[in-house]
């Protein structure tokens, strides 16, 4: 608990600075205070020297042949299980979201015949394992160790092929969810109604309604109406799969409420309409402010990340010593023809902040940049706090909760009101 207090204090200081800036922002006399000019120079508008991304910028090689072997992995990260019938699209989702495979290439993927484990751990906040299960897995097989498999699971993603008859999938969903829940009631159950690219809008909504209804009725019939299922319409051919995975991953980030609070404060004080904190490699957003997400904004921000990566990669200056070119000077500004500005700033090696704001409000770029620096510092402090907890037996070296047996034993949360509490200290 002491450790959390430290975190709170440190995050609180940065929040105080952000809050303090409201004052400056509202007061034009202070607008040209030396500090903001200095920060503006430091913070760096795009300087024309965007360096390249290293070729291996990513999560590393996909360990397709890696069998599940818990005993060999020293620490256990929260797990996301991908389950569903054969050919429902599980491996495609994993490859497209986390390994930059193009959707068309998934046509040539072979059927998975054993559990495939993939470590996603390069980004500081996004630390977990994905286990891709073969479609034909049999829960009643003696070799299926459900205690081990579901025990340390953070989220179970069940993929249903919406282009196919889904009755069999619904039976399997019911069987899977009830079995998993008996072992570990803390699992977040996420249902991806997948391959919706082939469906018309009406049919899409009707399928979702029908699947939702049947799945929840089946659970109630089996006496498990307390289980909550979240439904997402997904396709690897558009951004919906990234959006859905963002929501899955966010539920596994204990620091989420603190991040959301920081984004809200940043938006309020900088006249930003929407901001996303992106994991640059996967383009999943690990946090956003509390205003609703509309798909178009999310897609615009994803496209911006692609543009920045591509331009940096093609035209960037390659430095032999430090090939990692997405550095603290990385930023980008795109003005759209509808009076809106997209603004991207690097937060750390793997995270970027992408904001949408009105062009008029971007006149105060100095303030926005200053507020961004405070925001970045606060995020940094969240990391540091987490690292301070390293010695804490309830968290692993990344600060992620350690999962053990049937329960998540290290699920420590920064309280949603933490930043408020701290700011008031
Ligand atoms: N139209 C469409 N096809 C998809 C989508 N996602 C996956 N597919 C296709 O579905 C087929 C099966 O995909 P896989 O990823 O191999 O399915 P799987 O669930 O891993 O299959 P198993 O390993 O046999 O369990 C492939 O041909 C993919 O191209 C999607 O969003 N839309």
Predicted confidence (pLDDT) per residue in 206-232, tens digit: 999 999 999 999 999 999 989 999 999
161 CA to middle of ligand 1, Å? 8
User: Other C-beta atoms within 10 Å of 355: how many?
Assistant: 24
Which residue's CA is the nearest one to ligand 1's atom 13?
A: 89
The pLDDT tens digits of the residues spanning 326-363 come to: 666 778 899 999 999 999 998 887 889 999 999 998 88
101 CA to middle of ligand 1, Å? 13
Q: Are 317 and 54 in contact (CB under 8 A)?
A: no
pLDDT band at 5 (very low <50, low <70, confident <90, very high): very low
What is the token pair recorded at 74?
């020293």
Which residue's CA is the nearest one to ligand 1's atom 8?
A: 89
Q: Look at residue 253 in the predicted model and tell me its pLDDT.
A: 85
Q: Could you tell me where the DSSP H helices lie in 63-200?
A: 90-99, 146-151, 167-183
What atom in ligand 1 is closest to the CA of residue 108? Answer: 27
Q: Distance between CA atoms of 202 and 214, rounded to whole angstroms?
A: 18
Lowest mean pLDDT among 49-58, 127-136, 275-284: 49-58
Which residue's CA is the nearest one to ligand 1's atom 26?
A: 107
Report the relative pairing of strands 128-132 and 116-120 from DSSP bridges: antiparallel
User: Other C-beta atoms within 10 Å of 2: how many?
Assistant: 9
Lowest mean pLDDT among 83-87, 105-109, 352-356, 406-410: 406-410
Percent with pLDDT over 70 in the chain: 68
Per the model's pLDDT, the better-predicted residue between 128 and 226 turns out to be 226
What is the token pair recorded at 280?
């640059």
Q: Look at residue 47 in the predicted model and tell me its pLDDT.
A: 33
Q: What is the mean pLDDT of residues 241-246?
A: 93
Q: Look at residue 123 in the predicted model and tell me its pLDDT.
A: 53
pTM for the predicted model, two decimal places: 0.75
116 CA to middle of ligand 1, Å? 16
The answer, yes or no, to whether any atom of ligand 1 lies below 6 A from the CB of 237, is yes
Q: Distance between CA atoms of 410 and 394, rounded to whole angstroms?
A: 4
Q: What is the mean pLDDT of residues 20-40?
A: 30
Ligand 1 pocket test, candidate residues 85, 87, 158, 235, most atoms within 8 A of CB: 87
84 CA to middle of ligand 1, Å? 11
Residues 172, 211, 159, 252, CA torsion sign:
negative
For residue 402, is pLDDT > 50?
A: no
Q: Look at residue 168 in the predicted model and tell me its pLDDT.
A: 93
The answer, yes or no, to whether any atom of ligand 1 lies below 6 A from the CB of 134, is yes
Whole-angstrom CA distances from 66 to 63, 112, 116, 223, 300 are 5, 12, 6, 37, 36
Q: Distance between CA atoms of 37 and 32, rounded to whole angstroms?
A: 7
Ligand 1 pocket test, candidate residues 64, 83, 84, 89, most atoms within 8 A of CB: 89
The answer, yes or no, to whether any atom of ligand 1 lies below 6 A from the CB of 106, is yes
Q: Distance between CA atoms of 245 and 247, rounded to whole angstroms?
A: 5
Q: Distance between CA atoms of 51 and 285, rounded to whole angstroms?
A: 23
Alpha carbon 276 to its chain centroid, in Å, reads 10
pLDDT band at 317 (very low <50, low <70, confident <90, very high): low
Closest by CA to 125, choosing from 416, 344, 385, is: 385
Q: Are 267 and 99 in contact (CB under 8 A)?
A: no
Long-range contacts of 201-204 (CB under 8 A, 24+ apart): 204/162, 204/233
Q: Distance between CA atoms of 282 and 78, rounded to whole angstroms?
A: 18
Long-range contacts of 274-277 (CB under 8 A, 24+ apart): 274/355, 274/356, 275/353, 275/354, 275/355, 275/356, 276/301, 276/353, 276/354, 276/355, 277/347, 277/351, 277/352, 277/353, 277/379
Which residue's CA is the nearest one to ligand 1's atom 32?
A: 195
The answer, yes or no, to whether any atom of ligand 1 lies below 6 A from the CB of 240, is no
The answer, yes or no, to whether any atom of ligand 1 lies below 6 A from the CB of 135, is yes
What is the token pair recorded at 107?
């046509």
């Amino acid at each position: 608990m002491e450790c959390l207090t430290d975190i709170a204090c440190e995050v609180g200081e940065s929040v105080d600075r952000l809050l303090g800036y409201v004052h400056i922002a509202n007061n034009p006399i202070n607008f040209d205070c030396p500090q903001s000019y200095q920060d503006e120079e430091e913070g760096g508008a795009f300087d024309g020297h965007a360096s390249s991304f290293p070729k291996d910028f990513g999560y590393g090689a996909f360990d397709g042949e890696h069998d599940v072997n818990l005993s060999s992995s020293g620490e256990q990260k929260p797990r996301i299980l991908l389950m569903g019938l054969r050919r429902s699209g599980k491996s495609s989702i994993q490859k497209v979201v986390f390994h930059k495979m193009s959707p068309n290439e998934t046509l040539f993927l072979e059927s998975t015949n054993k559990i495939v484990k993939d470590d996603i751990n390069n980004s500081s906040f996004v630390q977990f394992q994905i286990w891709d299960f073969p479609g034909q897995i049999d829960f009643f097989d003696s070799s299926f160790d459900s205690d081990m498999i579901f025990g340390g699971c953070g989220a179970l993603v069940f993929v249903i092929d919406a282009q196919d008859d889904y009755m069999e999938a619904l039976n399997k969903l019911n069987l899977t969810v009830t079995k998993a829940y008996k072992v570990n009631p803390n699992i977040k159950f996420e249902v991806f109604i997948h391959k919706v690219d082939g469906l018309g809008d009406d049919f899409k909504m009707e399928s979702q309604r029908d699947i939702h209804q049947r799945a929840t009725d089946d659970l109630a019939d089996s006496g498990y109406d307390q289980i909550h299922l979240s439904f997402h319409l997904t396709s690897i051919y558009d951004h919906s799969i990234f959006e859905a995975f963002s929501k899955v991953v966010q539920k596994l980030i204990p620091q989420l409420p603190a991040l959301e609070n920081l984004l809200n404060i940043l938006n309020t004080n900088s006249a930003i309409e929407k901001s996303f904190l992106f994991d640059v490699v996967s383009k999943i957003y690990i946090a956003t402010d509390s205003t609703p997400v509309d798909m178009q904004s999310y897609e615009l921000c994803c496209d911006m990340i692609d543009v920045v990566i591509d331009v940096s990669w093609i035209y960037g200056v390659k430095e032999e010593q430090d090939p990692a070119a997405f550095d603290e000077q990385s930023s980008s500004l795109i003005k759209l023809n509808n009076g809106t500005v997209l603004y991207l700033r690097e937060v750390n090696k793997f995270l970027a902040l992408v904001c949408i704001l009105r062009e008029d409000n971007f006149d105060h770029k100095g303030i926005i940049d200053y507020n961004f620096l405070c925001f970045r510092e606060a995020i940094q402090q969240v990391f540091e706090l987490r690292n301070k907890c390293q010695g804490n037996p309830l968290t692993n070296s990344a600060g992620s909760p350690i999962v053990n047996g049937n329960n998540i034993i290290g699920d420590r949360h920064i309280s949603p009101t933490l930043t408020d509490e701290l700011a008031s200290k």
